[in-house]
Structure 1
Amino acid sequence: MDTLQAPMDSPFGAASTAREVIKGIDLSGRVAIVTGGHSGIGLETTRALAEAGATVIVAARDPGKARAAVGGWSNVEIGMLDLIDPASIDAFAERFLQKHRKLHLLINNAGFIGYALERDARGYESQFATNHLGHFQLTGRLWPVFARGARVVTVSSMGHQAGQVDFDDIHFERRPYDAYAAYGQSKSANALFALWLDRLGRPAGIRSFSLHPGGMITSGFSKDMSEADKKASGFLDAEGKPVIDPANNMKTLEQGAATSIWCATSGLLDGKGGVYCENCNIARAVPEDSQEQLGVRPWAMAPELAERLWQVSEKLAGVSYSGRGRSTASE
């Protein structure tokens, strides 16, 4: 890898908030897109970027909910985007391209976990289709207008530990469906996407990062979990109250958004990319059989797997990043 997957000397950590990370940074004149930027950590990401002066387009599946959350905020616009619907992605991108000449920050934040097997109109497993392929298509459609120095930040998860990309059965057509394995596969795909995207974008000064934000019980992401599962996962204590313990991966939304903001704006990452981050730092690479809670597993940072996933994704999404005025990947 071009940048070692190892922590650096960062002034921030697990308990840092998005506002603390972005303090003193002026994003005036910059344009950012945050998918799912109206709820959970996406909302705090939008807030931090907008307060720093960026024009932020909140890409939302339900514009009404987005308007209720961020309507009237300075520097914030709302756009309709359903990541599981290819036509919706194309329409969102076309509207953006008609209005904006440059894109400086793309935060691929939206995602979900599906506890029952669902498929999109193409027959693709819904978590892989939404969490990975939707963002793959969106980034590709916007590729022509990324500015030099732009960053693409994709929210992965420590959940990548639960599943590698199964190239022989991505869509659970033969193996029994396992919600956590499917989620893990999609989050591993997020990290591999960021790795290979960085190789493609580097000659044009476009850098890419993936990250684990931290576990947050107050996020809408956990709304479909039972109370028993939340307790078993450590989100709730024995009395059913949210556990806030940043050092042990249990964060507030403001703390959860900090690593996204750090990846998007930190000068420490200038000239770097393709790495998986956590706690406002580059994460440690850990062995496949590691029992540690954090760290990135080998299957989420292997260039050969990233390249293979890229080839598969181009076919599944019908999107090619070549021929868009950018150099192709090179060693």
Structure 2
Amino acid sequence: MAGKFGATSTTDEVLEGVDLSGKRILVTGVSAGLGVETARTLAAHGAEVVGAARDLSKAMAATGRVRADAAKGGGLELVELDLASLKSVRACADALVAAGKPFDLVIANAGVMACPKGKTADGFETQFGTNHLGHFVLVNRIASLMKPGSRLVNLSSAGHRFADVDLGDPNFERAPYTEFGAYGRSKTANILFAVEFDRRHKADGVRATAVHPGGIQTELSRYLTPEVRQQLTDRLARINSANAAAGLPPFTYKSIPQGAATSVWAGVVAPAEEVGGRYCEDCHVAELVEGAEVMGGVRAYALDPEHAKALWAKSEEMIGERF
């Protein structure tokens, strides 16, 4: 299964011949980029997609092709969700639970990247609060809707290699803030959340995984200052140098359909036992690696089960809710 698709595979290639009629799928972040493409390809193969977005008018404008490409009974419903506000997250989750319609797949796609230091509505560091805590509350509150055979796919990033989570200082109250350091923490948290969610729910037939979509030029980079862009350029240069020394090809950006392919592969196509509790990239399960200046692979700290349990407990403490 892993060898059939790769870094250049697109969403439509991954889902070729797959009929998702009757499946109900939640995708967060459907107002741009990967979220729109993920929703489009799922609806085109028959899925009933519930798309969550902070700005519903923007999402409505961005998802015209999702509705146009929908087939075999597939379609799109939009719901409001601001991951930087737990009031909004809880309201969204409560409405979904009240509706009582189960999900076959949840794709936690939305997020922010390398933004200036700030706080969410609840006082959490923006990237950790939005990318991790917002999804942590949403997914756990709707977990009762995830029926046996369903999956959770958390969008992480190769950026998890920038930093492990710091459970003693999650809001950078003591450590100096860096845009990519905070991004790295949040992306590591996305993986650890999947690891622990998978452990807690696999006996009931519900699995979870985390994915790296690849390097894609989307609205995610809208917060990058010239200085931070230069940091990214320098890092890519070091990665390309390491790749060249290892006889590997240089880094290249993916198209949006290529970037969204791993999400739908892990959520629909790959065997659940293959991806459950794991980290995937380029439509395969990633191998463990050490070192930040490498292309591909996952750091061991992001898959550590005890670390995942500790993050879960810290997250519950921060949001004042237990699951």
| Same fold per superposition (TM over 0.5) | yes
Mean Cα deviation higher: 100-109 or 197-206? 100-109
Partner of 1:208: 208
Partner of 1:85: 85
Structure 1 residues 125, 290: CA separation in 2 closer, same or farther (over 3 Å shift)?
Answer: closer
Partner of 1:286: 289
SS at match of 2:208: strand
Q: Does 2:268 align with 1:265?
A: yes
CA displacement 1:66-106 (0-9 Å, x = unmatched): 01011471400110000011111111112212324211110
Asked if the contact 1:14/1:247 (under 8 Å) is kept, the reply is: no
CA displacement 1:266-323 (0-9 Å, x = unmatched): 1433565000000000001113x363221100111111100100111111123322xx
Q: Alignment length, in residue pairs? A: 303
CA displacement 1:212-245 (0-9 Å, x = unmatched): 101112x11112335653654659xxxxxxxxxx
Structure 1 residues 272, 127: CA separation in 2 closer, same or farther (over 3 Å shift)?
Answer: closer
The CA distance in 2 between the partners of 1:157 and 1:271, in whole Å, is 19
Partner of 1:307: 309
Mean Cα deviation higher: 185-194 or 108-117? 108-117
The CA distance in 1 between the partners of 2:321 and 2:216, in whole Å, is 33
TM-score (norm 1): 0.86
Instruction: Name which of 277, 280, 297 aligns with 1:277.
Output: 280
The CA distance in 1 between the partners of 2:216 and 2:270, in whole Å, is 27
The CA distance in 1 between the partners of 2:27 and 2:279, in whole Å, is 19
The CA distance in 1 between the partners of 2:250 and 2:193, in whole Å, is 28
Partner of 1:161: 161
Q: Does 2:224 align with 1:221?
A: no
Q: Does 2:106 align with 1:113?
A: no
SS at match of 1:174: coil
Q: Does 2:259 align with 1:256?
A: yes
Following superposition, the deviation at residue 118 of structure 1 comes to 0.4
SS at match of 1:248: coil
CA displacement 1:136-174 (0-9 Å, x = unmatched): 000011011111100000000000011111112110001
Mean Cα deviation higher: 64-73 or 125-134? 64-73
Asked if the contact 2:2/2:285 (under 8 Å) is kept, the reply is: no
Q: Which runs of 5+ in 1 are unaligned?
A: 1-7, 236-245, 322-331
The CA distance in 2 between the partners of 1:45 and 1:247, in whole Å, is 26
The CA distance in 1 between the partners of 2:250 and 2:200, in whole Å, is 35
The CA distance in 1 between the partners of 2:205 and 2:278, in whole Å, is 16
SS at match of 1:320: coil
Q: Does 2:44 align with 1:51?
A: yes
CA displacement 1:24-82 (0-9 Å, x = unmatched): 11111111111002311111110111111111011000000001011471400110000
Alignment of 1:31-50 (within 5 A): 31-50=24-43
Asked if the contact 2:274/2:285 (under 8 Å) is kept, the reply is: no
The amino acid that maps onto 1:302 is D
Structure 1 residues 249, 277: CA separation in 2 closer, same or farther (over 3 Å shift)?
Answer: farther
Two-structure CA RMSD over aligned residues (Å): 2.1
SS at match of 1:25: coil
Percent same amino acid at aligned positions? 41
Asked if the contact 2:209/2:275 (under 8 Å) is kept, the reply is: no
Partner of 1:22: 15
Following superposition, the deviation at residue 122 of structure 1 comes to 2.8
The CA distance in 2 between the partners of 1:147 and 1:271, in whole Å, is 19
CA displacement 1:200-219 (0-9 Å, x = unmatched): 110110000101101112x1
Asked if the contact 1:151/1:206 (under 8 Å) is kept, the reply is: yes
Partner of 2:300: 298
The CA distance in 1 between the partners of 2:221 and 2:153, in whole Å, is 22
Asked if the contact 2:114/2:224 (under 8 Å) is kept, the reply is: no
Q: Which runs of 5+ in 2 are unaligned?
A: 238-248
Partner of 1:145: 145
SS at match of 2:216: coil
The CA distance in 2 between the partners of 1:234 and 1:290, in whole Å, is 11
Partner of 1:3: none
